[in-house]
Each structure stands twice: as C-alpha cells, then as structure tokens.
Amino acid sequence: MSGLRVIKPGPLSLLQDDGRHGWQHLGVSPAGPLDRQAAAWANRLLDNPWGTPLLEIALGYVELEGELDTWLALTGAEAAATLDGRPLPPWSRFAIGAGQRLRLAYAHSGQRAYLAAAGGFHAEAVLGSVSAQAREGLGGLHGTGEPLRAGDRLACRQARFARGLSVPWPYRPDYRATPLLRVITGGDAGSFEAEQLARFFEQTWRLSPQSDRMGARLLGEALQPPKRQWSLGVTRGAIQVPADGKPIILQADHQTMGGYPILGWLHPLDQDRLAQCPPHHKLRFTPVSVADAQAELRTFYRFFGR
C-alpha cells in the first residue's frame, strides 16, 4: 500500500494508537500517545475515530514524501511545518499530493507533535495494538517497537476533504507557561508526614533531563517518603516517591508493578500537558478531587467520541 515515504525520521518518531490494554497482568505496558489531547485533535480534524493510529514525533526534524493524494493533520508541539516550502498553519488539516515533501523543523515550543492521516496509518497489530514500545519490543511499523527509520513507508489511503480546517485557538495549549498540574492525593498519601505533603505542593519543581516515556522525574527539595515493604500494580499518572525523595510521575510506557510509596495520581488531562514540557521546565502542583477529575474527563471523552 502506498502512503508517506520517510526521508528523515527525526530523533524519535513512534507509531501510536489508543494503547495496548488488557495485558498489564502479564507485565506488558499499555504505551499509547503521551499527549492524548493533541493526538485526539489530530484524529478529530480528519474525522478519524478515537485511537486511530498516528505518528508521535519527538522534537521534530522529520521529512516525509507523499506517494498518493491524501489529507493529513498536524497538532501538538510548535515545529515550523512546510509543504514543498509553503508554511502550514499549526493544529490544522491539509492536503498532500504524490511527490510533495512535508518537512518539520525542530520544535521551539512543546516536545511532541502528532501527525495523523485520513483513515489512519496501517500496520500489523501486536497484542491488539500498533503502539510502539521499544523496551518490550512490541508494536510500531515493524512490530518490534522500533522508531521510524529512513526509507520506511507509512501506509495510508487516498482521501479528499472540501477544505482545510484548524483547531480554534482557545483550545490550543500554551506550552511555554509554567503549568499548574492537578493531583488526586491517595495511595500512600496518608502515610506521608503532613509537612512532606505540604512541601510537595508548595515548592516549584523542575523536570529532569532523565525523564522519558516511562516516567517523568522531578528535581527539587527532596521529600522524605514512608517505608513500604511490598509492591503493587501501578497505572499511568501515579506519583512514586523513591528513597532519594525525588518524585517520579509514571508515563505511558510505565512498568506494571512498583514498590515505591505513591503520593497520588496526576489528573489524566494534565498528563498531556506534562508530556510537552522540556527538560528543566518549571512545574507546580495543586490538589484536585476525584469527582472533579472524573467529571472533566467524562466531558473530554464525550467531546472526542470515546
């Protein structure tokens, strides 16, 4: 099947869908896009269903050549995009023809861009998902979890829309701002000293350069976690506090079991915002109730048809 030929793959470009669910009891990470909101907008612009396979592009510097006439959508990190040298508007859908070149420069705001194709990119599912997970060697274009390579082909279908379309500017996040991320306290929070919980919420943290798709590591004044003698299942957004007192927020490629004390969980929609923060970006946290987080998440899912 024709599609887009990869000329420059960028530092880390991964095929992702909604994730590999239902296998965590066997130690398999769910994976999926780090910024689900930007991914959902890319698919919505093309009338694709929730979770249609698309490309997560870390930092930009990608070049693709069309092999057929179709439509694409680009959202997420601000990386100057051109089609045969013509600038493309951000967070929008656009037509691409056979022989045309799509180029993305390095991202100057945000960390991950999302490129969707009408009908999605086609690849063989592994355990029910095409999401690439390098650590476990699952999914992606070749089924082994690898990122895109020069010469790869992103298979997709021909499509036609009457006109271009962009996401209204109020719905586009400002990736330069210091985000106030909401936390549902719970888990082992009751075992932390009150002053330690207060220290977590009162200080400004920085995102460690050692962060990756498995976990976002925080730099700041260390906390004193309680001791725990056992491990338990963990989910995305869990805020673990290891012995060194530097919290780790689990991301899409998280492990399935963990023994560090859990302070709480990052609001699911704020996990998307965290995914766009560069190293050393400042972060602040505030408590949120389970009810408020659930209500907002239900609204989000209804809007995107999940």
Which amino acid belongs to residue 87? P
Give the mean pLDDT of 212-216. Answer: 96
Give the mean pLDDT of 228-247. Answer: 91
Six-digit token pair at 28? 């398999």
Using a 10 angstrom Cβ sphere, with 0-12 exposed, 13-18 middle and 19 or more buried, the burial of residue 170 is: exposed
pLDDT at 151: 95
* pLDDT bucket at 306, cuts 50 / 70 / 90: confident
The residue with greater pLDDT, 43 or 169, is 43
Give the mean pLDDT of 109-135. Answer: 96
Q: Is the pLDDT of residue 77 over 80?
A: yes
pLDDT at 200: 97
Percent of the chain with pLDDT over 70: 99
Q: Is the pLDDT of residue 224 over 80?
A: yes
Q: Is the pLDDT of residue 229 over 80?
A: no
**CATH numbers and ranges of domains, the chain:** 3-171 (no CATH), 180-303 (2.40.100.10)
Q: Is the pLDDT of residue 305 over 90?
A: no
Any residues with CB less than 8 A from the CB of 26 and at least 6 apart, and which? none
pLDDT at 232: 87
Q: Does the predicted model carry a pTM greater than 0.85?
A: yes
Which amino acid belongs to residue 136? E
Cα–Cα distance measured from residue 37 to residue 191, given in angstroms and rounded to the nearest whole number: 33
Any residues with CB less than 8 A from the CB of 46 and at least 6 apart, and which? 71, 72, 73, 93, 116, 117, 118, 119, 159, 161
pLDDT tens-digit readout, 146-181: 999 999 999 999 999 999 999 998 999 999 988 899
pLDDT at 231: 86
pLDDT at 41: 98
Any residues with CB less than 8 A from the CB of 213 and at least 6 apart, and which? 31, 34, 251, 252, 253
pLDDT at 132: 96
Q: Between the CA atoms of 148, 151, 156 and 157, what dihedral angle is there, to the nearest 10 degrees?
A: 170
State the Cα angle at 260 between 254 and 261, rounded to 5°: 115
pLDDT at 61: 95
pLDDT tens-digit readout, 170-211: 999 999 988 899 999 999 999 999 999 999 999 999 999 999
Radius of gyration for the chain, computed over Cα atoms and rounded to the nearest angstrom: 20
* pLDDT bucket at 228, cuts 50 / 70 / 90: confident
